[in-house]
Amino acid sequence: MEVSERFLQIALDGIQDCINIVDKDFKIIFMNEVASQRTGKKRQLLLGNKCYAELWKESSPCESCVTSKVFETGKPQQTIKWETGLNGEKFCIEKCAFPIVDKEGRVEYAVEIFRDITERRLLEEEREQQRLELGRRIRELRHAYEELKSLQNQLLQAEKMTSIGLLASSLAHELDTPLATISGYCELLLEDIQDERLLNRIKIISEQIVKCQKTIRNLLDFSRKSSCEKKLCNINDLINNTLLLVEHRLKIHKINIHRVFDDHIPPLLVDGNQIQQVFLNLVNNAVDALPQGGNIFIETKINTETKSVEVCFEDNGVGIPSEDQKRIFTPFFTTKEPGKGTGLGLTICNNIISAHNGKIALESRVGNGTRFVVSLPV
């Protein structure tokens, strides 16, 4: 027996973990050299004393004691916990305990094994931090790639728009001369022909030529970079003139226009062509939001608090999702199908209104229509 105990003591003293055996009262009946060194006392002085008092300087069993659970359950237990030493230094301890049972299978003793895994845990945490940092860098790179890809698409779209502008300008110049010739001959025919029926037909031709020339001038204005030339304009007249440009489109799409204009609005110092471009874009967007037809409500009023004129464009169309509303004025962003929108219209509108020291606001709910409010200072 003496040889067995000595052999066991020598074997366990060679292990670098703290090992001790306690009874049900937590009295130490065996302890290896590493465990006794932890206490700073000789082994012989520790035997028979409470493990929680000698090893952990506690007056009662530790709150997270695995040994008590071994006596309760009869099964091995394990826990890993950060502890604070007497000098205030933190260390991580892995605590394991397993039972020693008697012939009847009752737990008589518990073997406790304590291992300082501070270095290992710090290394694991460092690796976890490195993994998280690597993940963050990967996400940043992916985001940068997506932004670069988006920017490339925007540049391609911008190049396309430049080409379209040049094409429109060239086409407009080519069409302007023959249209002017046709218009001139129409005027001559109006002087020479006396037949009322023929005169009406020629007048219709002349009116359609004027519309074509207006469209061409609009194309030319859009294709060239124009400076802001402000003069006093009647906002209600600008809206009515804009609606004349889309009158045919409104009829085709079975859309009704409802006007509520304040006749007491004073003339505003604006660039009429640019403001009409804003109104035209907002009306066209409202038409696109009403694929089955519907109503567009246009209202003008004076806001005495902000000393501004408000022009409201409201439709009862499909609306704009909330996640898209934040980006609605972003260049090249569009909610329309591919080929039906460049994503520049509202950006241009916002820039024009900002250049007039005004604001443009959006209110929309999916399925309940959209409302744009343009505010221009009096």
pLDDT at 312 over 90: yes
* pLDDT at site 336: 60
Least confident of 33-47, 88-102, 115-129, 197-211: 33-47
CA nearest to 316, candidates 331, 335, 296, 333: 296
pLDDT at 279 over 60: yes
The answer to whether 300 touches 262, Cβ cutoff 8 Å, is yes
The pLDDT tens digits of the residues spanning 7-45 come to 777 777 778 888 888 888 889 888 888 888 877 788 788
The pLDDT tens digits of the residues spanning 145-173 come to 888 887 777 777 666 666 766 777 777 77
The pLDDT tens digits of the residues spanning 334-346 come to 666 554 555 567 7
* pLDDT at site 334: 62
- DSSP-derived 3-state class of residue 23: strand
* pLDDT at site 344: 64
Number of helices (H) and strands (E), helices first, in the chain?
Answer: 12, 12
Least confident of 90-94, 127-131, 366-370: 366-370
pLDDT at 258 over 90: yes
The pLDDT tens digits of the residues spanning 286-310 come to 888 888 888 999 999 999 888 999 9
Q: What is the distance between the alpha carbons of residues 279 and 273, in angstroms, rounded to a whole number? A: 10
Of all residues in the chain, what percent carry a pLDDT higher than 90?
Answer: 17
* pLDDT at site 1: 41
- At 294, which amino acid appears? G
DSSP class of residue 115? Answer: E
CA nearest to 157, candidates 322, 351, 350, 345: 345
Least confident of 33-42, 97-106, 115-124, 310-319: 33-42
Give the global pTM: 0.45
Q: Which residues pair with 297 in a beta bridge?
A: 258, 314
Tokens of 187: 């005027």
* pLDDT at site 260: 93
Helix pair 272-288, 345-355: axis angle to 10 deg? 150
* pLDDT at site 137: 92
- Calculated CA dihedral for residues 230, 235, 240, 244, nearest 10 degrees: 20
Question: Taking residues 47-67, what's their average pLDDT?
Answer: 80
Mean pLDDT of the chain: 82
Q: What is the distance between the alpha carbons of residues 121 and 333, in angstroms, rounded to a whole number? A: 48
Q: What is the distance between the alpha carbons of residues 343 and 354, in angstroms, rounded to a whole number? A: 18
Residues recorded for the chain: 378
* pLDDT at site 55: 78
Least confident of 233-247, 275-289, 318-332, 351-365: 318-332
Top-confidence residue, 324 or 129: 129
Tokens of 363: 């209110």
DSSP class of residue 377? Answer: E
Strands (E), 9-165: 18-23, 28-31, 77-84, 90-101, 107-116
- Domains of the chain (ranges, CATH numbers): 2-116 (3.30.450.20), 118-225 (1.10.287.130), 229-377 (3.30.565.10)
